[in-house]
Amino acid sequence: MAAFTVRREKPTLVVPSKPTPRELKQLSDIDDQEGLRHLIPVIMFYKCNLFMEGEDPVKVIREALSKALVEGVLFIEADADIELDQLMVDTMPQGCWYLDELLHNVPGSEGILGCPLLLIQVTRFRCGGFAFALRLNHTMSDAPGLVQFLTAIAEFARGDGGAPSVPPVWQREFLAARQPPSITFQHHEYEQVIDTPTPTPTPTPTHDNNNNTIQKSFFFGPKEIKAIRSHLPPHHRSISSTFEVLTACFMEVAHTCTWTRSQREVSRARMVSTYPLEYAVDLVKKSAARMTGEYLRSLADFMVANGRPLNIMEGNYMVSDTRHAGFDTMDFGWGKPVYGGPVSAAPFLSFYTSFKRWDSGTNVFARSSNGKVSRGVEEND
């Protein structure tokens, strides 16, 4: 792994380029749950672009940011004595092990309340490329909302007009509970396991970075996806998406690698890991089919009626598929990034991102206890 040094300027709050409205925005009953009260790191890497010679990405992005948002973004300017290609060699196999260098955890900024709306660090590399890293408060935005905001910054950075092409929309009231609440579905992801006195909440990507867990990333191109599909019956191969077969594969591994399990979860894990792959694929299909508008309204009602409980780890495996969110096409004037998306996972929470190695494919970030997921993927290869 390449060693390098980063020199940072003092963090500053970006001041709006013109007066902005001051108003309160209401979170929905789905946004305001303890399981979403965490910070998500995202990073985009850009190569040197000769057509942008003389332009400073720090200056361009900071000025665009001042046009796009009210005051509240903490911004860090930085320089690293390394070339982008050296970093990318290390990034994908192990994940972004140097994230702390490219996204400084400013003391006092890591909370949920009374903290910056966003933390952004733009780091210039020796080769002329740069990294745009940010930390998102997940209660305030999800991936689509963040991409909409980044798109506005990118349009200002490129000089595409005087206003964002898509006006900002809040309307979180659509995810508020009904009066009176009407719970029309069972929400198993919040079910407490009967023989587990204290269910373990799912760790977050910024919560579990200790020595007890190891993060890995796994690349799946057309060749690897074809190999996984070969384990399915012929009638499943053509009707199962990449998302479905990948999630089924990692779900089998995750259940095999569970650390603390109740008797019920041991039996579930044994069932998932010993049945044919199509069994897990069908479970994924059924779970996705349940995610309707009525299911989300029922979830909001469930949250209010049950005191916004934490989703639990036992029996759950969560996936955030950001491949089509738009991080990999975000252009601030230097072209598309060579990589864009989340770079950190938590046990039982994996991220799927787009990445082009020799072929275009999917990168899966996963974290496990002492490398169990890595061994599990190899055993299921």
pLDDT tens figures, 313-363? 666 788 999 999 999 999 999 999 999 999 887 777 889 999 877 678 899
Residue 281, pLDDT > 90, answer: yes
Phi and psi angles of residue 284, each rounded to the nearest 5 degrees, phi first: -65, -45
Q: Inform me whether the pLDDT recorded for 260 exceeds 50.
A: no
Q: 54 or 32, which is more confident?
A: 54
Domain with CATH 3.30.559.10 in the chain: 6-175, 216-380
The CATH architecture one would assign to domain 216-380 is 2-Layer Sandwich (3.30)
CATH topology of domain 6-175: Chloramphenicol Acetyltransferase (3.30.559)
Is 138 part of the annotated catalytic residue set? Answer: yes
pLDDT in tens, 74-98: 999 999 999 998 887 655 555 677 8
Tokens matching residue 312: 């639990």
Rounded to an integer, what distance in angstroms lies between the CA atom of residue 75 and that of residue 78?
Answer: 10
Per-residue pLDDT tens digits for 168-203: 888 888 889 999 999 999 998 887 654 454 555 555
End-to-end CA distance of the chain: 26
Instruction: Report the SS3 class of residue 23.
Output: coil
Whether residue 306 has pLDDT greater than 80: yes
Query: Rounded to whole angstroms, what are the CA distances from 247 to 239, 264, 306, 364?
Result: 15, 22, 29, 10
Residue 308 C-alpha from the chain's centroid: 22
Place of tokens 């998500």: 40
- Please choose, from the candidates 347, 343, 345, 371, the residue with its C-alpha nearest in 3D space to the C-alpha of residue 214: 371
Cα–Cα distance measured from residue 243 to residue 28, given in angstroms and rounded to the nearest whole number:
28
Q: Which pLDDT score is estimated for 370?
A: 55
pLDDT of residue 90: 58
pLDDT tier for residue 102 given thresholds of 50, 70 and 90:
very high
User: Is residue 90 annotated as part of the catalytic site, yes or no?
Assistant: no
Instruction: Please state the pTM of the whole predicted model.
Output: 0.87
Task: Characterize the bridge pairing of strands 118-124 and 73-80.
Answer: parallel
Q: What angle do CA 257, 261, 265 make, to 5 degrees?
A: 90
Q: What is the dihedral of CA 305, 290, 217, 316, to 10 degrees?
A: 50
* pLDDT for residue 203: 56
**Which 3 state secondary structure label does DSSP give 220?**
strand
Q: Which of 104, 138, 236, 255 is catalytic?
A: 138
> Pick from 366, 93, 368: which is nearest to 246 by CA?
366
Bridge partner list, 356: 360
The active-site residue out of 32, 56, 321, 331 is 331
- How much is the pLDDT for 49? 96
CA 201 – CA 308 distance, rounded (Å): 13
